[in-house]
């Protein structure tokens, strides 16, 4: 349990940046124009938590865990630093951005060099922690809990400390069981466990019978798994089309015991290591990188899209923030929304019109978007403008877009003649596309004489909807808004038009003319004219947005709209929940790049696919999906405050896809065990259209009296699942990985 073990585990022995963090130093903490105080910060010896000295004498010195950090940013990259500091200190500034709702920590170091060491050092330790595999993470976690339970810090464990420790790790045992474990390990009869006895206790505790059974079944070479035994297991159980060299690679990679490794054998520990890594994960590792054809026209992809991107919370009084754009872009969102209004001093602002949400400068948002757009994905970002500005401020918008985005902004169609279809994501890498109103047809970009004498377009979309709600029905006339030519000319492939019917669109609209639909209208079309909608989306783009009545920024289910081939299904990224889980799962494969190629039957003009009325066709690839929920490991406590509260977990498997495939089944709950509950429960589902299906695993804390609390979730596309014995990682409600927790399942997908 020694300190340096952690440094060793992170692979950072003797690292000067780490040494710097462990020694710590003074930083200026900035909270407002007037609130600036010097505070001493340092990394604790556990390399997992930061300590900060506070001024409050009655409060114990506070700190934070590195696991709660979302990012460390060098420079003035947060609203706080941009607002409250001068550009002259730019290179001495850095910020710690937290997951969830915690406020950023904005700091100024005494020199540029020092700021860089803080940032570099913190990033090293955080990356080291992330790459610790699950097995090490879990040991790390258990040792930490042991340290906390060792109240008098004598590196020995009494029976009382042992019981406290078991509660810490989410396991409620009756006293006789705790005592039995204790006696079994206390071989020195000293009434405390120490050194090797603690190790023995740890081994007994983490022994996994269910893994042992599988191991024994295949370990036929003197009780160990030879590479041939392992190959046998991979081919028969995991259904992987692999050869002996692959099995040998796994032994090279995961075997811990050197003697076993030399004999090309895999020990039980090595086998557990393999199961806990990406090769043993339920998510197919071949889907991790970009593996799809990225040269199809843009409208052949589902595109990860956000609504009211500027909001951090609700739509009535929540803060608007550039932080919200950073968070969405870092989650590979590829279509962000900018609600633009006239602002003071001739500078356009972004906020939720006619509400109390705070305001942010258009210019600042564009700068932020430029900085963060391509950090997680190289593929194009669509800026969806909802324009309420006067012509003067529209000209300023056009100026900011062209001057800030520069060559990355697409201002001309690709190629030398008028296109008839969209370019692909590959050709548009690193580019920004503007979605908005345009005064004329795109042909005007090629023949300069085709300038139509129009300076206004009919107003529709969300903007009109807001106003309509305020008008009396009899006043409903098609309003015109004046549009600045400078802004109009920046709209190339995403020109906003009003939708009336599919026939009207087919006869009157070019491929680059796209409509936005309110969720209720879109759901209605998806429900009643799905085939027509799918065909409409074969050559045009469709954007769907949540109803204005969702003032709490809640979300609708995106699946029925993807089923109808809609590409830009915009959700409130700031609101966690099932709908966001489904969105993150849809975009989990293909390098998490924010673009997923639609199935062939949603792109082929001859297709007659209708999600509601299934007929025979290439979409119908009926599968029987067998899943056995075997066990879970190290589920987190839900109620951190109540030391006594242990979870009573159950697991639900949910399927989302075409209507015939939607289903859900649930295990029984297990009383008082979040450490290693076992269910061994089998379910069977039939999936008709696997290419559109998503599978969601939900672990909850069962409560007879009230609402069940969420423990962890994991969602993935049906076609990205691996067969066989697999571990399922678990995420929090906000989509962050729970480091040591997981489910252990057996999956078998067969042709029906």
Q: Could you tell me which residues are annotated as the binding site for substrate?
A: 29-56, 435, 437, 516, 543
Residues marked as catalytic: 307, 352
Q: How far apart are CA 529 and CA 537, in angstroms?
A: 12
- Contact (Cβ atoms closer than 8 angstroms) between residue 117 and residue 19: no
Cβ proximity of 262 and 248 under 8 Å: no
Q: How far is the CA of 3 from the CAs of 6, 8, 61, 195, 390, in angstroms? A: 6, 9, 21, 15, 62
Non-local CB neighbours of 389 within 8 Å, separated by 6+ positions: 340, 341, 342, 348, 397
Nearest CA to 246 among 290, 291, 285, 292?
285
Annotated binding site: 29-56, 308, 337, 339, 386, 435, 437, 516, 543, 646, 648, 672, 701-703
Q: 330, exposed or middle or buried, with CB in 10 Å at 0-12, 13-18, 19+?
A: middle
715 vs 552: CA distance, rounded Å:
24
Cβ-contact 100, 127 below 8 angstroms: no
515 SS3 class:
strand
- Phi (first) and psi of residue 683, to 5 degrees: -130, 155
Spatial CA neighbour of 321 closest among 359, 369, 356, 362: 359
Q: Which DSSP helix (H) or strand (E) runs through 340?
A: strand 335-341
Asked if 709 and 683 count as a contact pair (C-beta separation under 8 A), the reply is: no
Q: What is the DSSP letter of 68?
A: G
Q: How far apart are CA 29 and CA 35, in angstroms?
A: 8
What are the backbone dihedrals phi and psi of residue 327, each rounded to the nearest 5 degrees, phi first?
Answer: -60, -45
8: three-class secondary structure by DSSP: helix
Among 685, 697, 689, smallest CA distance to 658 is for: 689
Q: Which residues are annotated as a binding site for Ca(2+)?
A: 308, 337, 339, 386, 646, 648, 672, 701-703
Q: Is the dihedral of CA 672, 678, 684, 690 positive or negative?
A: positive
CB 327 within 8 A of CB 308: no
Both structure tokens of 309:
């991107």
Among left, alpha and beta (phi > 0; psi -120 to 50; other), residue 423 is beta
Nearest 5°: the CA angle 86, 89, 91 is 135
Closest CA to 14 of 124, 126, 106, 174: 124
Cβ-count burial 32-56 (b if 16+ within 10 Å, e if not): eeeeeeeeebbbbebbbebebeeee
Q: What single-letter DSSP state applies at residue 375?
A: S
CA distance 364 to 384: 16
* Length of the chain (residues): 752
H/E segment holding residue 696 = strand 694-701
């Amino acid at each position: 349990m020694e300190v340096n073990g952690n440094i060793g585990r992170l692979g950072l022995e003797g690292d000067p940046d780490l040494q710097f963090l462990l020694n710590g130093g003074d930083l200026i903490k900035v909270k407002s124009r007037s609130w600036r105080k010097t505070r001493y910060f340092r990394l604790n010896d556990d390399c997992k938590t930061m300590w900060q000295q506070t001024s409050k004498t009655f409060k114990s010195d506070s700190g934070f865990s590195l696991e709660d950090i979302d990012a460390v940013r060098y420079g003035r990259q947060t609203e706080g630093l941009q607002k409250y500091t001068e550009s002259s200190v730019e290179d001495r500034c850095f910020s710690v951005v937290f997951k969830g709702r915690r406020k950023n920590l904005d700091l100024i170091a005494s020199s540029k060099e020092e700021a860089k060491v803080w940032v570099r050092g913190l990033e090293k330790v955080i990356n080291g922690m992330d790459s610790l595999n699950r097995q090490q993470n879990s040991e790390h976690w258990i040792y930490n809990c042991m340290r906390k339970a060792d109240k008098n810090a004598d590196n020995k464990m009494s029976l009382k400390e042992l019981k406290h420790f078991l509660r810490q790790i989410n396991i409620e045992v009756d006293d006789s069981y705790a005592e039995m474990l204790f006696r079994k390990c206390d071989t020195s009869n000293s009434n405390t466990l120490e050194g090797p006895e603690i190790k023995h206790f740890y081994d007994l505790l983490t022994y996994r019978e269910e893994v042992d059974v599988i191991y024994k079944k295949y370990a036929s070479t003197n009780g160990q798994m030879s590479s041939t035994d392992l190959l046998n297991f991979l081919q028969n159980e995991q259904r992987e089309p692999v050869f002996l060299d692959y099995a040998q690679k796994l032994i090279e990679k995961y075997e811990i015991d050197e003697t076993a490794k030399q004999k090309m054998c895999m020990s039980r520990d090595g086998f557990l290591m393999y199961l806990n890594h990406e090769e043993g994960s339920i998510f197919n590792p071949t889907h991790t990188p970009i593996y799809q054809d990225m040269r199809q026209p843009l409208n052949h992809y589902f595109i990860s899209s956000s609504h009211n991107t500027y909001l951090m919370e609700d739509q009535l009084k929540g803060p608007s923030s550039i932080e919200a754009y950073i968070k969405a872009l870092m989650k590979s969102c590829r279509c962000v929304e900018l609600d633009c209004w006239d602002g003071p001093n001739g500078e356009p602002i972004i906020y939720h019109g006619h509400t109390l949400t705070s305001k942010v400068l258009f210019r600042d948002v564009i700068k932020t978007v430029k900085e963060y757009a391509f950090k997680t994905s190289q593929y194009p970002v669509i800026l969806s403008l909802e324009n309420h500005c006067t012509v003067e401020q529209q000209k300023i918008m056009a100026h900011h877009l062209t001057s800030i985005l520069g060559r990355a902004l697409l201002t001309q169609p690709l190629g030398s003649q008028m296109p008839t279809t969209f370019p692909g994501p590959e050709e548009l890498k690193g580019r920004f596309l503007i979605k908005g109103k345009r005064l004329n047809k795109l042909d005007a970009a090629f023949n300069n004489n085709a300038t139509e004498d129009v300076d206004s377009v009919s107003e529709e979309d969300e903007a009109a909807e807001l106003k309509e709600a305020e008008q009396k029905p009899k006043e409903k006339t098609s309003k015109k808004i004046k549009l600045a030519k400078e802004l109009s000319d920046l709209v190339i492939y995403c020109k906003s038009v009003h939708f009336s019917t599919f026939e009207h669109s087919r006869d009157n609209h070019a491929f680059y003319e796209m409509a936005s639909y309110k969720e209720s209208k879109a759901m209605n079309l998806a429900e009643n004219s799905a085939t027509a909608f799918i065909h409409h989306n074969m050559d045009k783009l469709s954007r769907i947005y949540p109803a204005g009545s969702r003032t709490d920024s809640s979300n609708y289910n995106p699946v029925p709209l993807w089923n109808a081939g809609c590409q830009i299904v915009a959700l409130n990224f700031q609101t966690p929940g099932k709908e966001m889980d489904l969105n993150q799962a849809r975009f989990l494969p293909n390098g998490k790049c924010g673009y997923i190629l639609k199935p062939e039957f949603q792109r082929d003009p001859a297709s007659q696919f209708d999600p509601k009325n299934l007929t025979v066709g290439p979409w119908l690839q009926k599968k029987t999906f067998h899943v056995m929920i075997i066990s879970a490991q190290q589920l987190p406590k839900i109620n951190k405050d109540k030391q006594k509260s242990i979870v009573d977990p159950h697991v639900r498997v949910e399927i989302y896809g075409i209507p015939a495939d939607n289903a859900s089944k649930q295990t029984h709950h297990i009383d008082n065990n979040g450490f290693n509950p076992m269910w061994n429960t089998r379910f069977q589902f039939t999936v008709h259209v696997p290419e559109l299906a998503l599978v969601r695993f939900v672990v909850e804390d069962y409560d007879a009296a009230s609402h069940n609390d969420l423990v962890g979730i994991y969602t993935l596309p049906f076609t990205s699942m691996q067969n066989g014995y697999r571990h399922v990682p678990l995420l929090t409600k906000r989509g962050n990985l729970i480091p040591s927790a997981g489910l252990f399942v057996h999956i078998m997908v067969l042709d029906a």
